[in-house]
A and B are shown apart, each in its own frame.
Chain A
Amino acid sequence: MSDASLAKPARFRPATEEAPVARWAMIAAAFLGLGILVFAPLIAVFVEALARGVAASLASLATRDAQEAIKLTLTIAAISVPLNAIFGVAAAWFITKFDFRGKAFLITLIDLPFSVSPVVAGLCIVLMFGANSAIGGWLVAQGYPIVFAMPGIILATMFVTFPFVARELIPVMIEQGRAEEEAALTLGASGWRTFWTVTIPNIRWALLYGVLLCNARAMGEFGAVAVVSGKIRGQTATMPTTIEMLYQEYLSVAAFSLAAVLALLALVTLLLKTALEIRHADQLAATHRH
């Protein structure tokens, strides 16, 4: 070997690393995609909301209709998300910890809300519980209407957001297997105690993530809710349906101000998740094996 070749060693690069040009092209493409699809619309919402100044925007949010819409949406989320978290955990637990016939069918069934259009789901609820149906008619007679009222909106929201928690949990629980639960049982713990001290702590991050996704979707659901709620202002109009109505009436500041609040609520949930992840980073590292 001559000195020249020693002085100028060939540049090797790991097999999995691309050439710099390809790398930068891909990074740029990713940012461009993100920018066009995510950041630009988000910024546009806030720009439109503040187009006539902060005062006008705040005034539109202070109207009774806007206040009621925000209240209704938060109430719907506060009721449907915990219920779906419970159903999701139960479904995932049942599917992953037991062997039974028809398991594959049940997993498909859980995914059904993802494949069915929310509008169709809303129509199904109207058919089932509307004033013209047997159940709905009876309930209306008792003074508990489902459709065009809060219960219908909750049902529609729960239907659409049902898969989120279960879908997050099933792969995690399959990967973890049943050995830790069995160990707890052999140590004398009851099934209930095993569930709270072993199963839940092992799935808490997946559960949290599922709940946050479920929450974001529950607050944002439009199609199914639009069908069942009747969009009565100040009563059954949620934030998304109110935004649409305001926009149709060319009240763009009001529409975009409410949209900005909805976007902010989603951002807050994301920030909450990130903060929790940072705070519990050591625990995450200790408990996550993948």
Chain B
Amino acid sequence: MQIEIDEISKQFGTTAALHPVSLSLPSGALVALLGPSGSGKTTLLRILGGLEFPTSGRVMFDGQDATGLSVQDRRAGFVFQSYALFRHMTVFDNIAYGLNARPRASRPTKAEIARRVSKLLELIQLPDIGARYPSQLSGGQRQRVALARALAIEPRMLLLDEPFGALDAKVRKELRQGLRDIHDTTGLTTVFVTHDQEEAMELADLVVVMSMGRIEQIGKPQDIRARPATPFVREFITA
């Protein structure tokens, strides 16, 4: 799905988290929102997911105005920073949650839900953990379960907030490839937030560098590296 961000701004009280920013994300792209903390990248992601609403501006999905669309109706698979798995539910129930939450008319049967959950568990290469609780999983496993849970609702896009933030260096490398694979298999437009320039450059097709609520540069990783648009970008990508 193609995403168009048109002059979006966001005020929290008297502070501006986002100055009007515009951005066009091609369908099926893997996009990184890169910037230091306080750059507005997470706010932008949450606006895309419908968890925050912009003070001004519009969001368009495939040319349709989606600015006022509720979080439930966005069908955005959202992976949270600390994964936000439901701690009182098994991995199976976590992944099945979105399907069980559907209105009765469009809810799959129990057997169908079970089939889809086991398929997703295979996709994240953890076929045998359905009966476990989140507290019994490692950080990397939790992240993959969160990904499977987001994919279960057959989302129109995938939004990830610092998906590798809470992991150690080795697991981080492995899961980067995992996300790339899942993106390539599903073909979903995927946006992830990171403060790690190496991660953004290595993984994304398109990198959006942000600072203090503004977009500094949009481009392919190699272009940004070769021709940083502003002194901030130059400094940030060499850090």
Residues A289 and B87 in contact, CB atoms below 8 Å apart? yes
B131 → A minimal CB distance (Å): 12
For window 95-136 of B, CB contacts with A under 8 Å fall at 97-98, 101-102, 133, 135-136
Residues A179 and B149 in contact, CB atoms below 8 Å apart? no
B141 CB-CB contact with A under 8 Å: no
Residues B84 and A180 in contact, CB atoms below 8 Å apart? yes
Closest to A181 in B: B84
Residues A183 and B87 in contact, CB atoms below 8 Å apart? no
Residues B88 and A184 in contact, CB atoms below 8 Å apart? no
Q: How far is the CA of A66 from the CA of B11 in the complex (A)?
A: 64
A77 → B minimal CB distance (Å): 28
What A residues does B60 contact at CB under 8 A?
Answer: none
**Which residue, of B75, B87, B98, B135, has the highest number of chain A Cβ atoms within 10 A?**
B87
B69 CB-CB contact with A under 8 Å: no
CB < 8 Å: which of A186, A189, A285, A289 contacts B78? Answer: A186
A276 → B minimal CB distance (Å): 15
Residues B135 and A286 in contact, CB atoms below 8 Å apart? yes
What B residues does A190 contact at CB under 8 A?
Answer: 72, 101
Q: How far is the CA of A189 from the CA of B77 in the complex (A)?
A: 13
Q: Are A286 and B136 also in contact (CB < 8 A) when A183-B86, A186-B50, A189-B101 are? A: yes
Q: How far is the CA of A189 from the CA of B70 in the complex (A)?
A: 11
Residues A180 and B86 in contact, CB atoms below 8 Å apart? yes
Residues A186 and B87 in contact, CB atoms below 8 Å apart? no
Assign chain B's interface to a size class: 20 to 34
Residues B88 and A283 in contact, CB atoms below 8 Å apart? yes
Residues A184 and B97 in contact, CB atoms below 8 Å apart? yes
What A residues does B133 contact at CB under 8 A?
Answer: 286-287
Closest to B161 in A: A179
What B residues does A198 contact at CB under 8 A?
Answer: 86
For window 175-212 of A, CB contacts with B under 8 Å fall at 179-180, 182-190, 193, 197-198, 201-202
What A residues does B71 contact at CB under 8 A?
Answer: 182, 185-186
Residues B153 and A187 in contact, CB atoms below 8 Å apart? yes
Q: Per DSSP, are chain A's interface residues mostly helix, strand or loop, or mixed? A: helix
B49 CB-CB contact with A under 8 Å: yes
Q: Produce 1/0 per residue, A153-190, CB < 8 A to B.
A: 00000000000000000000000000110111111111
Residues B88 and A201 in contact, CB atoms below 8 Å apart? yes
Residues B153 and A202 in contact, CB atoms below 8 Å apart? no
Residues B72 and A183 in contact, CB atoms below 8 Å apart? no
B165 → A minimal CB distance (Å): 13
Q: How far is the CA of A38 from the CA of B104 in the complex (A)?
A: 55
Q: How far is the CA of A285 from the CA of B134 in the complex (A)?
A: 12
Q: How far is the CA of A182 from the CA of B161 in the complex (A)?
A: 13
A136 → B minimal CB distance (Å): 44
Q: How far is the CA of A124 from the CA of B82 in the complex (A)?
A: 48
Residues B101 and A183 in contact, CB atoms below 8 Å apart? no
Q: How far is the CA of A179 from the CA of B166 in the complex (A)?
A: 15
Q: How far is the CA of A179 from the CA of B86 in the complex (A)?
A: 10
Q: How far is the CA of A202 from the CA of B88 in the complex (A)?
A: 7
B61 CB-CB contact with A under 8 Å: no
B207 CB-CB contact with A under 8 Å: no
Residues A188 and B153 in contact, CB atoms below 8 Å apart? yes
B163 → A minimal CB distance (Å): 14
B76 CB-CB contact with A under 8 Å: yes
Closest to A285 in B: B135
What A residues does B51 contact at CB under 8 A?
Answer: 182, 185-186
Q: How far is the CA of A283 from the CA of B134 in the complex (A)?
A: 12
B236 CB-CB contact with A under 8 Å: no
What B residues does A180 contact at CB under 8 A?
Answer: 84-87
CB < 8 Å: which of A182, A189, A283 contacts B97? Answer: A189
CB < 8 Å: which of B50, B88, B136, B149 contacts A187? Answer: B149
What B residues does A189 contact at CB under 8 A?
Answer: 72, 97-98, 101
B148 → A minimal CB distance (Å): 12
Q: How far is the CA of A103 from the CA of B55 in the complex (A)?
A: 24
Closest to A178 in B: B84
What A residues does B75 contact at CB under 8 A?
Answer: 188
Q: How far is the CA of A201 from the CA of B86 in the complex (A)?
A: 10
Closest 8 CB pairs of A and B: A187-B98, A179-B84, A189-B101, A186-B78, A183-B84, A286-B133, A201-B88, A185-B71
Given contacts A188-B98, A289-B135, 4 further A-B contacts (CB under 8 A): A184-B97, A197-B101, A286-B88, A286-B135
Give me the interface of B with A, judged by CB distance under 8 Å: 49-51, 71-72, 74-78, 80-82, 84-89, 97-98, 101-102, 133, 135-136, 149-150, 152-153
A-B contact pairs, 12 of them (CB 8 A): A179-B80, A180-B86, A180-B87, A182-B51, A182-B78, A183-B85, A186-B78, A188-B153, A190-B72, A286-B133, A286-B135, A286-B136
